[in-house]
Structure 1
């Protein structure tokens, strides 16, 4: 994720690494279908879905120039990477961040047509309500850490650019 976010590798190279090393051959946006997704570390699926939203998969590119991430995105990614290098357990409930329509079955599509879109609106409202409830579980500004305190604690023992590493 670090290499992708600062433009060292392309989106296609990132997906190759992910499918080889993390998702048992599944692309990030399809990992939810893998049987391993139900047994894997709880942070993997949200991280994959989040990383998939960083780039377009329509053509190969690096996150540079017109695709460059903004400062807030880079700061958020640094926090995500810090979490991944910690021993913290992921404590948030899972909420699917994708538009409900993307995961619709044929039945859902038919129901949406028959109800003039009300079925889709209901699903979207349900998702928004779940997200609002999930945000109440902790300090969402520090996600994937559950609290500011856990985040700050990890910053004190962070694995990057620390004196311990530099003197080793």
Structure 2
């Protein structure tokens, strides 16, 4: 199930956080009431981007490094796409173990999907989304 409102809200907040315009609290406190597994999984993954012990922006020592910025860009592209999230839901144990290992244990460990494409399921679906970007594509929204 795709929840366009939640996807757009999370994509925009991620963009603002990574660019240093909002604090980690804006991302951490973003309320997402959805059954869209992609939104839930990406919000969970975003928790590893910041220090939740105090409020800060992603600047200075909290700046998101280039590799991680590239990864977050993939998440945003996914959120803006109409791709279904096909990865299996992690068990409570997998989530807990990931937290205890500070994210070294990845909960998205399905053998069927292509891990480098996450949150897309395959590199082909990622490449297709990259060919049809929602932002900066030269189109303007039609007025209603």
* Partner of residue 4, structure 1: 17
Where structure 1 has 5 or more consecutive residues not aligned to the other structure, the ranges are 24-35, 104-123
Larger Rg computed on CA atoms: 1
Determine if the alignment matches structure 1 residue 15 to structure 2 residue 28.
yes
- Distance in 2 (CA, whole Å) between partners of 1:3 and 1:130 is 26
More helix by share: 1
Alignment of 1:22-61 (within 5 A): 22-23=32-33, 40-61=35-56
The normalised TM-score by structure 1 is 0.64
Deviations 1:95-121 (A, max 9, x none): 256443969xxxxxxxxxxxxxxxxxx
What's the counterpart of residue 80 of structure 1? Answer: 75
Judging changes above 3 Å, is the alpha-carbon distance between structure 1 residues 4 and 152 closer, same or farther for their aligned structure 2 residues? same
CA RMSD of aligned residues (A): 2.8
Q: Which runs of 5+ in 2 are unaligned?
A: 1-13
How does the TM-score come out when normalised to structure 2?
A: 0.74
CA distance in 1, matches of 2:107, 2:138: 42
Is the partner of 1:159 in helix, strand or coil? coil
Match of 1:158 among 110, 133, 136: 133
Which runs of 4 or more aligned residues in structure 1 lie more than 6 Å from their structure 2 counterparts after TM superposition? Answer: none
Once the two structures are TM-superposed, the CA of residue 162 in structure 1 deviates from its matched residue by 1.1
* TM superposition shift of 1:85: 0.6
